[in-house]
Structure formats: C-alpha cells, structure tokens
C-alpha cells in the first residue's frame, strides 16, 4: 500500500492540498469534491419526464415539479416558474416525495365484515358494487319524502360524507352533485371543522 | 405566518423591505413577531377588546375616512327607534328571545323600511310585511341561516324610503350608534383587558390609522387564531367594521385576508362539500319558503350587484345537474333538490350516528377519529353505523378504530360486538391525478398527473364517478319517484386509460359553465 492510497483520501489532507495548491482557499470548490461527488448525477437530470404540480399541504399553493423515472416519482422540487413561490418550497413541501412514495401507503382494498376481527382482501370491482348496494339500500330504508307537516324534504338523513381539504375542486363538485341527486344533505368538509 | 406559511411570508418580507409596516398581534413571540416592526402580545381571547379599542380610537378621534364612509357604507342610514343597545338593556341588545336563545332582528332594521321583510312580499301592507319579517328572521334562525341577516343590503324599492343623515350626526344613524357602542373600549380598558401597556396600544392605533387614508391602505391577515374562538365571527365582523371605517375594503392593498390552511380548503368552500351550500354560494333550499324556483330566487336574490343574477346562476346549476330533463316547464327540476331544515353539519351527523339515524358514512381523506373535536364521540358514532367507507393513503385511525381504538383498549367496545362494515379504499395522491386546487388567494391552479396511482389506489374523482355510474345502472328501470333525480342526472364524463379515469378537465369545464351553444364561458357575466 503506497502513501497515496493511505493518506490522500483523508479529507483534511485533501482539503489542505486543494487550499494551498489548487487556489481553493475557502474550501468550497475542489476541496469539497471527491471521486464519489464527481460520479453523482442529480435525479432530475436522469428523469424521463417532469410534471407541473402544486404542493398538497398548505393553501399558499407553491408550484412543484414532479420528476418521474421508470413510472416512479423520483424527486419533487419547487417550480421556479410559479409566480406564487418562485421556486421555493418550505421543509414540509420539499419532503412531498416522502408523502407520495411512502412505504406505509396501502395499495389494496381492505374489507372488515360486520363483527369481523381482521381485515380481509376484497377485489376493487366487488367492493364498488357492494358500496353501491349499501347506498341504494340505506337510501331506500331512510328516505324521507315529507316532514310531519307535509312539507317536501326529498332527502335521506341516513347517509353522510366528510371530506378532507386536499380534495380537488372537481372531486368536491362530483361529491356534492351525486350526494344532492341521492338526497344526502349531510355532505361536509374539513373547511368547517 | 413565518412558520406555517413560510413561502407566502416571503411576500410580506418583500413588502416590509419596500417600506410597509408589519405588525404581529399574537400572545406568542414567534418568528413572525421577531421579524415584525411591532409585536403586540395580547392576552389570548381578548381580540374583541383590541379591535373595539381600535374602532373607538378611530371614531373618538375623527380618524374615519369620511368620504368613503358616507358613500360606501350604511353609516349615514338611520335605524329604527325601537333599537336598544346593551347599555339600555343590561348587556343584551333589543329583540332577545328567551325561548330560542337568539335575537329577533326586527328592531335592528333601517327606519322606514324592513331589510328582512321577505322579498316578493314587499308589496304587502306594513303589518303583513312586519309579520313576514318576523317570520323570516325566525326561519333564518330555525334553518341555521342567521349569518345571512342583512346580506345583499336593502332592496332598490326600499332605498327610496331610507332616511339618511350624511352629516353623520343623527343620534340614530349607524355611525352614531357604533360610536356609542364602542365608547367603552378606551385605551385604558384595552390595556387592562388585553394585558398590554397602554402606550403599545396607542402605537398600534397610530400605525393603523396613519396608514389608512386616501393614498394608503392597511390589510389584516388572520387564520384559525381568530376563527377557532367561540366568538370568531365577532372578531372578523369587528375587523370588517374597522376596515370599512378606514376605507380599507375594496381598495388596493386593503382587505381582510383569511389565510387558509389546506391546499384546497377554499375550493371545498366555493365548490362546496358543505351541507347548506350549492356551488357558487347558492343556498341549499329549505321547505319553509322555497316551494318553487321563483320563491327560492325571491328569498335570496338582490336587486343590485351580482346577486341580482341569482336566477341565472340557479338555472345554470340545475341545467348542469339535470341537463335535458331540466326545462322551464318543470322549474328546471328545482324540486329535485333535497331540503335542509336546520344544522346538518358534521357534529350533528355524529349525534345522528349515535342515535342510529345516520347509517352510512363516507370519509374522503379525512380522519375524524383523531382529527375532530370529541374524537371519542366520533369513534362511538362510527361503531353504530351499518357501513363505513374510508378513502385514504394509509391505515388511519378512522379505518382501524374497531380493532385498535382507545375504546377497544379500555374494554368499552369489543371488536366482535361492533356491527359496522368497513371498506378501506386506497386513494391516489395529487401526483397521480389531474385536478385543480384553489389556494389562499382564491386562485385556481391545475396540477398535472405525473404517474398512475399504484394498485387499487384511485382518485376521488374516479370513486365518485364510478360509484354514481353503478348506482344509476342498478336503479335503471326504477319507477320510484325518489329515483328520478339520480336517473335524470347529467352524469357522463369521458374516461381514459386502463383504470378508466374520468376527465377532470370536463368536470372543471362544467364548473366553469357553458353558453347555450355548449362553448365554455370566458367571463363571470
């Protein structure tokens, strides 16, 4: 083993040599680089594509760029083109990738039958059919056409919905539209909690 | 704001760099206060005294923007002589009803007219109008619409009967009533109640008033630090009074800005998933006086301003909902709308779950088992349901309470005894769907889909569209009258991809509105 292999990778020595010999007196240029640094490529440079998006956390509405490689989100950064945020994200927004790629995300439908003690698997298609059946049955069972004074109510108080405030406008619109057609008036949102 | 909306705060700092004075009113010294020109650490919950003190400072020192106040507010208008303030009635305003624990607003009306008289009944005699007015204010209370009192202002017919004193000297004009009411909030009182030095209050008052005149405006920004008080509405109304007196409403740089906390919480208010509203702030109808579209429009529209177009808004919405089935001959299917009869908000829903009325519950990205007040009642309510659908990213407490909730741990509930059927459906993230958010400044921003959602995960757009499609298919052929609104519903959106994701763009176009020829509207008018 020669001197070079033994001592040169030692950062202090490398930085000292760069400062003295390389003109990097502040130690922020060549001194801070290593072979590994030079071999690194940013994920945003190797991404297949980038989608313009909006931060899902607070309502400031910072622009995000979502980088995708091999159909996976590989990085989310601030969008410099956004007039709201000018490329900036707060620490929470800058960690959005950890929200959307979180290992704790469930990706399968789970079903708990009445009085059941464990989750069971259920096909998405079957689940959708079962939920539609529940809505129809509960609505029929709880339908109130008129109140005790004979006034028209045309509603069910048997079905309610509560949504979060990260639902898109379009999603809210469909929830209210379908709920109203079904006569479900208890359609609510985090907006009033 | 520096901590909770740091990227938005860059604009506040930019304004400060350009010479704006930044004042932070907060019991805590936070990073916002540290960067402000003035930090006013009032005692928590004393905002009414502080705002009242500012109003008194303005009125007591003649600092109002007189020309603005006379021409753009009701300050000059004279109020009914029956009105009594709290000094006269030992803490209550006139019109208090013990039986309903609420105010009848009859005596608060303008002299000569009745703002609250039921529109459409204004042509009737004074006595009938008075009775209609009483009935109407009672109905507003009964249907939880008290907040609409006085909305849209007086009618054009009534405007001719209003008595005004533009010198603002008449003892019963709004300006003088305000002046007398707020006289109690002297700087000394404010200092005592708010727990701040009197000089600090005076410094605040000087900064606000010196910056509010013909050439300059002052803005107030607040968040849940105001709204989550039991008297939050009074805080915001008091701020409105102050801003109107100073001419800071409807002028560049003025206003009262609600900083909203979630990506599209403003969107879910405008395009509401709220029990008492239809899209665009049209009210949900109630059975008392909304028997027909005409009655509904007469009750809530106005003669002036944008609400004068209420009928067009209502008809457009009904056409968007029921398409070809909605015609002038059938009142545009107005009858298809369900009626509200009181407070049907989420906490009432929990009570209805506990008493067995509410049997099915959808949670779309919301976690009331830990996120709402009285989480225990939320969990017990869910344990009394027939079925529960939870749509979220991960196994949240509202999905698993039957297995590992605190009531299971304590033995109050036993898993085997809980009959609730629970469906957990994984949800798509914002990166996995197209759609728009409305941010805190009320700007719509589109987010583009980057990747497909994994596995069974789907957008809520997908869930509600396909649920509606399935329900409609299962009900096809039904002759039940109650199924007409479902079967006649305009519910066709194009889908794409293997997952058959509905087009969010088409839904946004529907929200935006179309001309009769089908092209998208390009303006609000």
Quick one: three-class SS letters along B97-109? Answer: ECCCCEECCHHHC
Partners of residue A126 in chain B, C-beta under 8 Å = none
CA-based nearest distance A5→chain B, Å? 46
DSSP alpha helices (H): ranges in chain A? 3-7, 11-21, 35-39, 43-46, 91-94, 96-100, 124-142, 169-182
Taking an 8 Å cut-off on Cβ atoms, the answer to whether B6 and A90 are in contact is yes
Taking an 8 Å cut-off on Cβ atoms, the answer to whether B360 and A138 are in contact is yes
Three-class secondary structure of residue B471 per DSSP: helix
Give dist(CA B449, CA B435) in Å, integer.
8
Rounded to the nearest 5 percent, the helix, strand and coil shares of chain B are: 45, 10, 45
Within-domain flag for A105: no
Residues B259 and B440 sit within 8 Å (Cβ to Cβ): yes
What chain B residue is nearest to A123 in terms of C-alpha separation? B456
Taking an 8 Å cut-off on Cβ atoms, the answer to whether A159 and B359 are in contact is yes
Do A48 and A33 share a domain, yes or no? no
Do A82 and A15 share a domain, yes or no? no
pLDDT tier for residue A44 given thresholds of 50, 70 and 90:
very high
Tokens of B389: 């659908």
Residues B459 and B426 sit within 8 Å (Cβ to Cβ): no
Partners of residue B339 in chain A, C-beta under 8 Å = 151-155, 185
Domain hosting residue A177, numbered range: 110-192
pLDDT tier for residue A7 given thresholds of 50, 70 and 90:
low
Taking an 8 Å cut-off on Cβ atoms, the answer to whether B336 and A154 are in contact is yes
Q: What is each CA distance from B155 to B128, B244, B296, B469, in whole angstroms? A: 17, 21, 16, 44
Give dist(CA B513, CA B498) in Å, integer.
29
Q: Which among A152, A158, A193, A150 is positioned nearest to A179, based on CA atoms?
A: A158
Taking an 8 Å cut-off on Cβ atoms, the answer to whether A170 and B363 are in contact is no
pLDDT at B125: 45
Tokens of B269: 């208010």
Written in H, E and C, the secondary structure of B497-512 is CCCCEECHHHHHHHHH
Give dist(CA A64, CA A87) in Å, integer.
8
pLDDT at B106: 82
Return all residues near B479 (Cβ < 8 A) that are at least 6 apart. none
Do A141 and A80 share a domain, yes or no? no
B145 interfaces chain A, CB cutoff of 8 Å: no
Taking an 8 Å cut-off on Cβ atoms, the answer to whether B444 and A169 are in contact is yes
Regions of chain B with pLDDT less than 50: 115-126
The CATH code of the domain that includes A50 is 2.20.25.90
Do A24 and A48 share a domain, yes or no? no
pLDDT at B124: 39
B471 interfaces chain A, CB cutoff of 8 Å: yes
Q: Which among B285, B288, B227, B213 is positioned nearest to B256, based on CA atoms?
A: B227
B221 interfaces chain A, CB cutoff of 8 Å: no
Q: Residues A136-164: what's their mean pLDDT?
A: 96
- Of A82, A100, A118, the residue at which a domain comes to its end is A100
Rounded to the nearest 5 percent, the helix, strand and coil shares of chain A are: 40, 25, 40
Count of CB atoms situated within 10 Å of the CB of B24? 20
> For residue range B83-115, what is the model confidence (pLDDT) as tens digits?
999 988 999 999 998 988 888 888 888 888 754
Partners of residue A54 in chain B, C-beta under 8 Å = 263, 430, 437, 439, 445-447
pLDDT at B412: 97
Within-domain flag for A139: yes
End-to-end CA distance of chain B: 35
Do A57 and A30 share a domain, yes or no? no
Give dist(CA B507, CA B461) in Å, integer.
9
What chain A residue is nearest to B2 in terms of C-alpha separation? A90
Taking an 8 Å cut-off on Cβ atoms, the answer to whether A188 and B346 are in contact is yes
Nearest Cβ partner of B7 from A88, A106, A192?
A88
**Which residues 29-88 of chain B have a CB within 8 Å of chain A?**
none
Write out the residue limits of the CATH 3.40.228.10 domain(s) in chain B: 42-72+185-258
CA-based nearest distance A34→chain B, Å? 34
Do A23 and A86 share a domain, yes or no? no
Taking an 8 Å cut-off on Cβ atoms, the answer to whether A177 and B321 are in contact is yes
Partners of residue B368 in chain A, C-beta under 8 Å = 162
End-to-end CA distance of chain A: 69
**Which residues 271-330 of chain B have a CB within 8 Å of chain A?**
271-275, 278-279, 284, 287-288, 291, 321
pLDDT at A4: 58
Do A49 and A12 share a domain, yes or no? no
pLDDT at B288: 83
B10 interfaces chain A, CB cutoff of 8 Å: yes
pLDDT at B105: 83
B364 interfaces chain A, CB cutoff of 8 Å: yes
Within-domain flag for A78: yes
Do A143 and A165 share a domain, yes or no? yes
Within-domain flag for A85: yes
Give dist(CA B212, CA B204) in Å, integer.
13
pLDDT at B445: 97
> For residue range B152-165, what is the model confidence (pLDDT) as tens digits?
666 667 777 889 99
Number of domains composing chain A: 3
Q: Residues A137-162: what's their mean pLDDT?
A: 96
Three-class secondary structure of residue B55 per DSSP: helix
Chain B interface, best mutation among A153, A169, A176, A184, by max B CB count within 10 A = A169
Return all residues near B226 (Cβ < 8 A) that are at least 6 apart. B47, B232, B235, B236
Do A171 and A134 share a domain, yes or no? yes
Taking an 8 Å cut-off on Cβ atoms, the answer to whether B275 and A186 are in contact is yes
Percent of chain A with pLDDT over 90: 77
Do A146 and A124 share a domain, yes or no? yes
- Of residues B288 and A61, more confidently modeled: A61
Nearest Cβ partner of A192 from B274, B421, B433?
B274
B423 interfaces chain A, CB cutoff of 8 Å: yes
Three-class secondary structure of residue B347 per DSSP: helix
pTM summary value: 0.90
What chain A residue is nearest to B417 in terms of C-alpha separation? A115
Q: Which CATH superfamily is domain B42-72+185-258 in?
A: Dimethylsulfoxide Reductase, domain 2 (3.40.228.10)
Q: What interface predicted TM-score (ipTM) does this complex get?
A: 0.91
CA–chain centroid gap for B425, Å, is 30
Three-class secondary structure of residue B311 per DSSP: helix
CA-based nearest distance A57→chain B, Å? 5
Q: Which among B295, B293, B288 is positioned nearest to B326, based on CA atoms?
A: B293
Taking an 8 Å cut-off on Cβ atoms, the answer to whether B455 and A158 are in contact is no
CA–chain centroid gap for B385, Å, is 29
């Amino acid at each position: 083993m020669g001197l070079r292999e033994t001592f040169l990778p030692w950062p202090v020595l490398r930085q000292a040599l760069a400062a003295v010999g390389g003109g990097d007196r502040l130690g922020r240029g060549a001194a801070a680089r290593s072979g590994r640094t030079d071999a690194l490529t940013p994920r945003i440079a190797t991404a297949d594509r980038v989608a313009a998006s909006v931060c899902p956390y607070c309502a400031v509405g910072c622009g995000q760029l979502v980088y995708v490689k091999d159909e996976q989100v590989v990085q989310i950064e601030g969008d410099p083109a956004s007039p709201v945020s000018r490329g900036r994200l707060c620490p929470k927004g800058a960690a959005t990738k950890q929200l959307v790629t979180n290992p704790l995300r469930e990706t399968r439908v789970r079903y708990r039958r009445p009085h059941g003690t464990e989750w069971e698997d259920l096909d998405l298609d079957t689940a959708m059919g079962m939920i539609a059946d529940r809505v129809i049955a509960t609505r029929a069972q709880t339908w109130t056409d008129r109140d005790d004074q004979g006034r028209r109510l045309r509603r069910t108080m048997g079905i309610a919905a509560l949504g979060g405030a990260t639902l898109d406008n379009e999603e809210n619109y469909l929830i209210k539209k379908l709920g109203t057609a079904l006569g479900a008036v208890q359609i609510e949102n985090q907006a009033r909690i | 704001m520096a901590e909770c909306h740091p990227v938005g705060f860059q604009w506040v700092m930019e304004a400060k760099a350009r010479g704006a004075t930044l004042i932070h009113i907060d019991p805590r010294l936070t990073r916002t206060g540290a960067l402000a020109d003035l930090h006013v650490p009032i005692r928590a919950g004393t905002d009414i005294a502080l705002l009242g003190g500012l109003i008194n400072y303005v009125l007591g020192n003649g600092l109002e923007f007189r020309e603005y106040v006379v021409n753009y507010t009701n300050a000059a208008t004279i109020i009914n002589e029956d009105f009594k303030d709290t000094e006269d009635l030992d803490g209550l305003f006139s019109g208090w009803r013990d039986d309903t624990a609420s105010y009848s607003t009859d005596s608060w009306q303008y002299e000569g007219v009745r703002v609250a008289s039921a529109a459409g009944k204004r042509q009737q005699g004074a006595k009938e109008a008075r009775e209609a007015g009483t009935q109407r204010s009672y109905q507003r209370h009964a249907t939880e619409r008290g907040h609409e009192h006085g909305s849209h202002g007086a009618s054009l017919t009534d405007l001719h009967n209003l008595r005004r004193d533009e010198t603002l000297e008449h003892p019963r004009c709004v300006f003088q009533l305000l002046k007398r009411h707020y006289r109690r909030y002297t700087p000394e009182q404010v200092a005592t109640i708010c727990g701040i030095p009197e000089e600090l209050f005076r410094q605040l008052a000087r900064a606000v008033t010196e910056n509010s005149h013909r050439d300059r405006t002052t803005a107030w920004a607040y968040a849940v630090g105001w709204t989550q008080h039991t008297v939050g509405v009074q805080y915001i109304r008091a701020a409105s009074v102050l801003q109107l007196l100073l001419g800071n409403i409807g002028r560049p740089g003025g206003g009262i800005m609600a900083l909203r906390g979630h990506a599209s919480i403003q969107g879910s208010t405008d395009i509401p998933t709220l029990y008492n509203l239809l899209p665009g702030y049209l009210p949900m109808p109630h059975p008392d006086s909304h028997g027909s579209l005409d009655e509904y429009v007469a009750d809530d529209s106005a003669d002036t301003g944008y609400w004068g177009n209420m009928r067009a808004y209502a008809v457009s919405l009904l056409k968007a909902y029921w398409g070809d089935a909605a015609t002038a001959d059938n009142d545009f299917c107005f009858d298809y709308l369900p009626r509200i009869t009181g407070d049907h908000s989420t906490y009432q829903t929990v009570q209805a779950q506990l008493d067995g009325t509410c049997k099915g519950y959808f949670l779309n990205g919301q976690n009331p088992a830990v996120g709402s007040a009285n989480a225990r009642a939320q969990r017990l309510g869910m344990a009394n349901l027939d079925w529960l659908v939870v749509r979220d990213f991960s196994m949240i407490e509202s999905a698993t309470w039957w297995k590992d909730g605190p009531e299971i741990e304590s033995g109050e509930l036993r898993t085997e005894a809980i009959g609730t059927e629970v469906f957990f459906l994984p949800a798509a993230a914002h990166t996995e769907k197209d759609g728009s958010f409305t941010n805190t400044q009320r700007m719509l921003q589109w987010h583009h889909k980057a990747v497909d959602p994994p596995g069974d995960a789907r957008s809520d757009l997908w869930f509600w569209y396909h649920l509606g499609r399935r329900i409609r298919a299962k009900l096809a052929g039904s002759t039940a009258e109650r199924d007409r609104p479902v079967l006649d519903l305009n519910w066709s959106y194009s889908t794409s991809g293997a997952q058959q994701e509905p087009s969010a763009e088409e839904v946004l176009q529907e929200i935006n509105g179309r001309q009769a020829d089908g092209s998208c509207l390009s303006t609000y008018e």
